[in-house]
Amino acid sequence: MHSRSARGGLVYSTDSGRMCPVCRHPAAQCVCKKAPAVPAGDGVVRVQRESKGRGGKTVTLVRGVPLDAVALADLGKQLRAACGSGGTVKDGVIEVQGDHAERLAAHLQARGYSVKRAGG
C-alpha cells in the first residue's frame, strides 16, 4: 500500500487555487513551468461549422491555432465577443455558438493567420 502523499498530493487549495503537480507550488507561481507544449500543426487555421451531436444547434469550430492554452482562451474570448455569442475552448479547439464561420475567418485573417474553411 502506498501512503496518500506518495499517490499525488495537494491538487487544489482554497487559498491559492490550482497547484502544480510537479513542483507543488500554486499554478501562478509554478517554478518548473511544466505547461504543455503547443501542438505542432501545418500552420493553417481551420474554421468549420458543425451541428452533429449537438441537438440541432450550430457551432463554429476553430482548429489549429498555434497558441498555448492561456493565449488560446484569450483569443476565444475575443472571437466570441466579436460575434456577440457564447462558446468555449476545449482541447485546443475554440467553439463559438452559432454560424459565424465567415466572420471568424475574417477576424483571424486580420490577425495574420492563414485560414481555410473546412467541412461543408
pLDDT in tens, 29-55: 776 765 555 555 677 899 999 888 888
CATH code where residue 57 lies: 3.30.780.10
Residue 72 — φ and ψ, nearest 5°? -65, -40
Maximum pairwise Cα distance, the chain: 57
Q: 14: pLDDT confidence band, cut at 50, 70 and 90?
A: low
Does 103 lie in the same domain as 50?
Answer: yes
User: How many DSSP H helices and E strands does the chain contain?
Assistant: 3, 7
**Same domain membership, residue 50 and residue 11:** no
Strand order in the sheet with 93-97: 87-90, 93-97, 59-63, 44-50, 114-118
Q: Any idea what DSSP says for residue 92?
A: T
**Number of structural domains the chain divides into:** 2
Sequence-distant (6+) residues with CB within 8 A of 82 are: 103, 104, 107
Please calculate the CA angle 34-46-51 and round it to the nearest 5 degrees. 105
Say whether both 112 and 55 belong to one domain: yes
Q: Rounded to two decimals, what is the model's pTM? A: 0.65
The pLDDT, as a whole number, for residue 3 is 45
pLDDT for 46-87, tens place per residue?
Answer: 999 988 888 888 999 999 888 888 888 899 999 999 999 999
